Amino acid sequence: MTSPSPEHCDLLIVGAGPAGMAAALAAAPTGAAITLIDDNPAPGGQIWRDGPGAHLPRAALQRREALTSHPNVRLLSSTRIVAVPQPRQLLLEDDNRGWSLGYDKLIVCTGARELLLPFPGWTLPGVTGAGGLQALIKGGLPVRGERIVVAGSGPLLLAVAAAAQAAGAQVLRVAEQASVSAVAAFAASLVRWPGKALQALTLIHRGYRLSSHVVAASGQGRVESVRLQQGGRTLDVACDRLACGFGLIPNTQLGQALGCALNAQHAIAVDAWQATSLPDHYAAGECTGFGGSERALVQGAIAGHAAMGQVDQARRLWPQRQRWEAFATSLHTRFALHPGLKQLAAPDTLVCRCEDVSHAQLCGFESWTAAKLHSRCGMGACQGRVCGGATQFLFGWPQPAPGTPISPARIATLAHSSFALPHPIK
């Protein structure tokens, strides 16, 4: 059953990853009534995701313990945002109920999601996102003895390979699309961030190959081999699983639904105080652009202090943020996707997996809206969370603000007495 009247808090933080946890801990000493919500069963976000196969770092455990020491911080796990029924109010749902929560100020810490690009065979069972495989392993997926290929772009590939090997898998190849010169320049720049350099050294894999990308996956009912482009030659690698991810894209859906402006990188635009274009609304972490947990932590702390009016505490963190923003810039520059990856999909390759829309069916449209109207692209269960990022890279289509409900919800939640749909249900 739904609540008859909305609850209220002084500060609402959406997302309990590093940014959200840091924001809550920065704001907590003021005594404000703080609510921290997340759709996962436990705080930590994707990078500190818990599960039977997870080994959380000490920093994550310490922040979890610190959150519980503040009685004015309420953590709502396994909680989803359904809609924005009116200004300064969200419609929420968990496993038991749906209810409205009002707030005075809000910090968006919704993180990022994996960019998946279509290629022949990417819909075969056994093909997952790189970060997706990491999450599955943390959740207890048995991979011992499996032959795995990891492909795509960015340092996450090496972290996924390490996680798979620690779980007993045999990682045959880590195919990085970035060039030798780009990765060498990135490695040389790590002298500015010694901790990152040390981390990189611990993740080096003998199967790591540069200027290499997936061409196709094949198999009878399940992936059995992967074709890779390695420089000027093509090779086939027999495997049991392919984990493929081409970096991250900011998760801006809530920000857009609230009315926050995006920047040129399609992330939530923020100022020096992590404030968005909407008064009393802030954003921190990878929804403002991806750059690692260190950047997310300091942005979250700045947002928490700023939201509570603690400008001196927030300003003292600016140099630390600048340091990690520089790391993020280096990461983006050196691991930028090669334009040739736009040619991976064949005409019959599905781009929208939910609605079985092929690449050929989308080539004639000029925008996401036109493609959606004529082909149902993005109208399936994931609501464009997968194909939206892919079409943005393939065709340059910006993603519009999400419709309502933002996530699937029960009829009882949508029938909440204080909630009226601003748009037709999709």
R_g (Cα) of the chain, nearest Å = 22
Spatial separation of the C-alpha atoms in residues 269 and 156, rounded to whole Å = 25
Q: How large is the average pLDDT for residues 90-95?
A: 94
Secondary structure (DSSP) of 232-246: TEEEEEE-SEEEEE-
Structure tokens of 84?
A: 């924005």
pLDDT above 50 for 162: yes
Sign of CA dihedral 194, 195, 201, 203: negative
Question: What pLDDT is recorded for position 400?
Answer: 78
**Tens digits of per-residue pLDDT, 320-329?**
999 999 999 9
Helix orientation angle between 130-138 and 156-166, rounded to the nearest 10 degrees: 30
Closest of 361, 370, 368, 352 to residue 401, by C-alpha = 368
Q: How large is the average pLDDT for residues 7-20?
A: 96
Asked if residue 52 has a cis previous peptide bond (ω within 30° of 0), the answer is no
Provide, rounded to the nearest whole percent, the portion of the chain with pLDDT above 90: 78
Question: What pLDDT is recorded for position 325?
Answer: 96
Q: How large is the average pLDDT for residues 289-314?
A: 96
**Tens digits of per-residue pLDDT, 351-374?**
999 999 999 999 989 999 999 999
Question: Do residues 10 and 104 lie in contact, with contact meaning Cβ atoms separated by under 8 Å?
Answer: yes
Residue type (1 letter), 394: L
**Ramachandran angles phi, psi of 369, nearest 5°:** -65, -45
**Tens digits of per-residue pLDDT, 33-76?**
999 999 988 888 777 777 776 677 888 888 889 999 999 999 99
Q: How large is the average pLDDT for residues 223-235?
A: 94
Structure tokens of 258?
A: 């609230």
Per-chain mean pLDDT for the chain: 92
**Element of type H or E holding 358:** strand 357-358
Q: How large is the average pLDDT for residues 242-247?
A: 95
**Tens digits of per-residue pLDDT, 385-409?**
899 999 999 999 988 788 788 888 8
Spatial separation of the C-alpha atoms in residues 28 and 11, rounded to whole Å = 10
Question: What pLDDT is recorded for position 424?
Answer: 44
Q: How large is the average pLDDT for residues 234-253?
A: 95
